[in-house]
């Protein structure tokens, strides 16, 4: 089955700097890669996603890149703000019965004012 590795596990950045989180996946059939943000005590919320036929996608300060050949994808947050502090999860899935997502281990991001 699919295996998703996420790095780093913790990330501390100064407000205004950029944050980058990287994930690798094992199943070449995976074709959908969402990123979720989880604040303390809450459920994960989708922040951005990318499909395998796209190499890059941007939404304001957040961007995601995908390298299908290398089987890795990354989340980029620019001009970080204190409210960006949270745990971020990457995931991968194959569009098939069940539409199951396999999640990475998460990255705890701390933005220092």
Partner 1 sequence: SQTIHQWPATLVQPVGSPLSLECTVEGTSNPNLYWYRQAAGRGLQLLFYSVGIGQISSEVPQNLSASRPQDRQFILSSKKLLLSDSGFYLCAYYPGQGSEAKNIQYFGAGTRLSVL
Of 52 and 78, which CB lies nearer to partner 1 in the complex structure? Answer: 52
> CB within 8 A of 61, min separation 6: which ones?
77, 78, 79, 80
* Shortest Å distance, C-beta 44 to partner 1: 5
Q: Which is nearest to 106 in space by CA: 37, 43, 47?
A: 37
Interface with partner 1 in residues 39-78 (CB under 8 A) = 41-46, 49, 51
The two three-digit tokens of residue 95, written as one number: 């569009």
Site residues (CB under 8 A) for partner 1?
6, 32, 34, 36, 41-46, 49, 51, 89, 93, 95, 97-106, 108
């Amino acid at each position: 089955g699919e295996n998703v590795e996420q790095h780093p596990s913790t990330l501390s950045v100064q407000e205004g700097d950029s944050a980058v989180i990287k994930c690798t996946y094992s199943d070449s059939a995976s074709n959908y890669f969402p990123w979720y943000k989880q604040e303390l005590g809450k459920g994960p919320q989708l922040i951005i996603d990318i499909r395998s036929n796209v190499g890059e996608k941007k939404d304001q300060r957040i961007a995601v890149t995908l390298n299908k050949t290398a089987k890795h994808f990354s989340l980029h947050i620019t001009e970080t703000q204190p409210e960006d502090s949270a745990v971020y999860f990457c995931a991968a899935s194959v569009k098939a019965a069940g539409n199951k997502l396999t999640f990475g281990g998460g990255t705890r991001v701390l933005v220092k004012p």
